[in-house]
Amino acid sequence: MRRYARSKMRFATTAAMILAVCVVVPARSQKNDYDWPVYGGTSENNHYSPLKQINRSNVKLLKVAWTFDSGEEGGLQTNPIEIGGVLYGLTPTQKVFALDAATGKLLWKFDSGIKGTQPDRGLAYWTNGSDHRILVGVLNFVYAIDASTGQPIPTFGDKGRIDLRENLGRDPKSQSIYMTSPAVVYDDLIIVGGREAETLPASPGDVRAYDVRSGELRWSFHTIPHPGEFGYDTWPKDAWKNSGAANNWAGMTVDVGRGIVYVPTGSAAFDFYGADRVGDDLFADCLLALNAKTGERIWHFQGVRHDLWDRDFPAPPVLLTVERDGKKVDAVAQTTKQGFVFLFDRTNGNPLFPIECRKYPASDVPGEVAAAEQCLPMKPAPFARQLLTDDLLSQRTPQVHEWALSKFKTFRSEGQFVPFSVGKNTVIFPGFDGGAEWGGAAVDPTTGILYVNASDLPWTGGLAENTAEGTPMALYQSQCAVCHGETMAGSPEIPSLIGLGQRVASRDAFALVQNGKGRMPGFSNLDDEQIWGLLGFVMSGGKENAPEKIEGKEVSNNASNLGSLNPAAKYHFTGYHRFYDPDGYPAVAPPWGTLSAIDMNTGAYVWKIPLGEYPELAAQGLKNTGTENYGGPLVTEGGLVFIGATNFDRKFRAFDKDTGQLLWETTLPFAGNATPATYEVKGRQFVVIAAGGGKDLKSKSGGVYVAFSVK
């Protein structure tokens, strides 16, 4: 049984700036108009629309209807919502805006005064018929905004906002939690998770519900169980006090009729070494079914036991109905980074396809105890490749193939759930970003066919022993090396820290470490002295004991408290490395990204195609290779699957949902790393996608919303 918290909360104040006039939400103009009122389109999160004005026969006539340019850089991952002829979205710095959904005209813009630096994938909407509210995260705050005026609602929380660092049972000032996926709404509750640090110390991943009117905390579910709670014995004794994460960062889905909220969770911190959390670590890497009103656990399924590979459940699950033995069964489908789909009876968690549990290799890292068994579904077949062998290496040129073969011989490649070793790189295939990612899947409820896009290329990783405690290098290794690598060189998606002092002002670098940016979480677990000392170490090029002049004064990086903040972590991750060839392309054979249609009634594939291409390779004749992709699909009654997602070609495409045939494509101003939305206003159907790029560091980023229509 969970304990439920009801408390009056105090939060820090903020100055809210409203950059527009007050407007009234337009009334519904025609009975047949259709909204996109929820992240993912519907409460089932199925990315589906019954609209068919845009269809197979006329999709080639799609033209730009309007654009809205936020004027900002930084990229977008937002699936906007549309209610009553008004579209609500976010800018790259997490300003909230309302547009006339038919024209793209700005109605209002809300600026919290905080420069948001984290991905923000969407907003939530609540109404009781007279009160209309937009609920949105800006860093660690959740705001309630009047949907008509864009002004914060002063009776919600502290002058319109609540602080997610509160009510976690730990010092709020040292918590690092960011609202990167929108809340879900059930009755008069908003239910939230949050993004958290992936190194220790990290905040606990509590799932929490707040009163939508007052902002009062109504219940909490501890994903790291407290004494006496179910799952407590799957962790070390005091893990609930000092471990972290096992959080819901990807968003949730609500069965409104049954009052069940489905919560996918991520790995516990530290992601790649768990000697301090030996055990199965419930409820990390779980699909949780909770009573949405009370937070009580109904059922759960753990997808990865004692996760050592950062194999989070990466997207909100999809609710659908399938046929079993001639009967209709209400189900929930969960996609994974490994490229599998789990399908369960949504009422009791019984698997609707067989799941096989088997033994995997033990860890050879001192202190680490890998789980003895892991479980995977037998159907459907995985939608991404599972094992890298030498016959899958790139044949793009003979020279590239020889390079790849030589490199491959230095790796350990044995498929899923192989623990990392010290001093040797292990292949993760598909890579750390999937397989499936946060864009999630679409489902046509009339057929039970699920559409899911995936990246399909290997990454590698390994462990190395930490240096002595109390040194700047130890702090860097424990907090930064996991992303930027041991040499600070970064990766194609993670910037290099080499020469940081020549590119970034020290005060800006301080704010970056404190608040994070993009895929980098903030490090509010570091105090000011630790941050300045860490910056001194980085800006001196990694020299020990080398004073650095910062903000006009010398800051030593030799302070005694600069060492690793997690003494139990004797090893650190050596960095995320995509297996790229010397020219910067995947060192494996295509496809490098795919879009699949899977019949969830039978588990059979309807079709599977490459998704995306590199324009320069296509010009040389190497077309339809697929690329890494971020953002999900949209499926419509008009017979279409719309998807952007592809990193390098900036295309927005429409496919025939029955065959996978490409019917239309256009080039966006920036990559559409977001899930599109569709709605109808005044009898006219629009398809909108947020085009901001930001996932490819070599390309410029922006913040443009583009709407298409055939009329």
Please give the span between the terminal C-alpha atoms of the chain, in angstroms, as a whole number: 55
Residue where one domain finishes, among candidates 510, 544, 563: 563
For residues 452 and 479, membership in a common domain is answered with: no
Query: Residue 430, preceding bond cis, omega within 30 degrees?
Result: yes
Within a domain: residue 294?
Answer: yes
Q: What is the Cα–Cα distance from 563 to 572, expressed in whole angstroms?
A: 13
Q: Which of 191, 161, 309, 350 is nearest to 260 (CA)?
A: 191
Number of domains in the chain: 2
Chain-centroid distance of CA 168 in Å reads: 22
For residues 217 and 88, membership in a common domain is answered with: yes
For residues 639 and 603, membership in a common domain is answered with: yes
For residues 491 and 452, membership in a common domain is answered with: no
Give the residue ranges of the chain where pLDDT is below 50: 1-29, 559-562
Within a domain: residue 153?
Answer: yes
Within a domain: residue 638?
Answer: yes
Token pair 């790649």 is at which residue?
Answer: 272
The CATH number for 256's domain is: 2.140.10.10
The CATH number for 471's domain is: 1.10.760.10
Structure tokens at 12: 């820090």
> Within a 10 A sphere around the Cβ of 213, how many other Cβ atoms?
15
State which amino acid sits at residue 208.
Answer: R
Specify the pLDDT at position 8: 34
For residues 74 and 182, membership in a common domain is answered with: yes
Q: Which range marks the domain in which residue 551 is found? A: 467-563
For residues 254 and 281, membership in a common domain is answered with: yes
Q: Which of 68, 42, 153 is nearest to 444 (CA)?
A: 42
Write the CB contacts of 610 (distance below 8 Å, at least 6 apart in sequence).
Answer: 590, 591, 592, 593, 594, 595, 624, 625, 626
For residues 437 and 487, membership in a common domain is answered with: no
Specify the pLDDT at position 15: 36
